[in-house]
Amino acid sequence: MIGRAGQSLEPIFRAIADTGARTMIFALPRRTLRSKTAMPRIALYRSAIACGGILVVACGSGAHETASDGGGAATAEEVSRSCSSLPPVADYGAPGPFDDVKMFTGVGPKNNYTLFRPTKTLGQHGFKHPIATWGNGILTTPDMYQKTLPLIATHGFVVIACNDTRAEMACLSSGMDWLVQQNTTAGSAMEGKLDTKTEVVVGYSWGAGAAIDTSGRSNVKATVSLHGMPPRQSGSWSNMHAPLLLTTSTGDNFVTASKYVTPNYDDSNVQTFYATLDDSTVGHLYVVDEGASICVGSTVGNMFGSCGNDTDEHALTIAWLRLWACGDSNAKRFFYGSDCTLCQSPWIFPQRKNWQ
């Protein structure tokens, strides 16, 4: 595994594995959240990530399709047909109208995927859910993103995540193909309830490179790369056709902006927004759930930082997906104009290219 600038990442990951980092428990405390309402919002994130109407699938292993505990009363009465009919939201970092999202494990091809989707509100009032595929960071699995993937699903997306700890395009694309098939499979819980012409691709770190590789699919409407590495398939940049969101932070000392994210920005040929979170305490593992086994704490804390639930990147991720997949014009405030949300603290150095 070689980085963009020729830097080998393999020794670092092997070192983590050798020290048992996969089984180490989060040791560094989460930085103090800015908002006074942060604590009640954390509670909401735990049950709401998957309730937004987008189905998310992640690579992984599992022998049975089982639902995680979750749910709640359905609140999608105003939603109908395509995701362009989603009701407006004031806070894009908060749960969407599909508040009964659950996680299903051991689904998809070879039972190697994890699914995040609404349950009772799935397809309610004729709603057609756009579909999403997710790529994990290396050494992680979809269950380590339960603060992020369910949240995306609460906004109407059905998310499938490849369980592979080194997810590649083949796994992400196969997951999406499986969702497309479920829409026409008799007896499937998702039969006739998916908008298979509206796909989005999201990934983190190593999985973000796979997300860019997968974004050449003809029905992809948006791509999100969170602290992402470059694609690994030849022709990926020329095949990409949908808008791309790139994120990083000033505290990411592993997949650094200069060696990885900025080159991605430079290579992109599509409409692209590059967002930088100005926070030295937000390291590379920030996207992973607090308490996940990959949260290595003080062992290599200076290199990877603390796991942080990706809290500050939720709103822009949801806004980007709703803007391009659902035509949510209110989401433009994050990206358009000199006074855009991502043009202000705690965000710095906003960059746009091929902007329309």
Q: For residue 52, what are the CA distances in angstroms to 63, 119, 163, 185, 313?
A: 27, 12, 22, 23, 16
> What are the boundaries of each domain within the chain?
33-287+310-351
User: Which residues on neighbouring strands pair with residue 104, listed in sequence order?
Assistant: 67, 115
Count other C-beta atoms under 10 Å from residue 233's C-beta. 16
Digit-coded pLDDT (tens) for 238-248? 999 999 999 99
Q: Is residue 78 scored above 90 in pLDDT?
A: no
For residues 44-55, average pLDDT? 38
255 pLDDT higher than 60: yes
Q: Select from 309, 307, 311, 310 the least CA-distant residue to 28.
A: 307
Give which of 161, 160, 168, 116 is closest to 141, Cα–Cα.
Answer: 161
Rounded to whole angstroms, the Cα distance separating 100 from 119 reads 6
The contacts of residue 72 (CB under 8 Å, 6+ apart) are: 47, 99, 100
Q: For residue 76, is pLDDT > 60?
A: no
Strand runs labelled E in 60-128: 66-67, 101-107, 113-118
At residue 301, the pLDDT reads: 59
Mean pLDDT to the nearest integer, 319-327 = 98
Q: What is the C-alpha end-to-end distance of the chain, expressed in Å?
A: 36
> How many whole angstroms separate alpha carbon 50 and alpha carbon 64?
20
Q: 162, 155, 152, 153: which is closest to 109 by C-alpha?
A: 162
- Average pLDDT (171-184) is 98
Give the model confidence (pLDDT) of 290-322 as tens digits. 999 988 764 555 788 999 999 999 999 999 999
CA atoms within 13 A on the CB side of 283: 22
Per-residue confidence at 70, pLDDT binned at 50, 70, 90? very low
**Taking the alpha carbons of 171, 173, 175, 181 in that order, is the dihedral positive or negative?**
negative
- Which fold does the domain 33-287+310-351 belong to in CATH? Rossmann fold (3.40.50)
Contact at 8 Å (CB) between 119 and 99? no
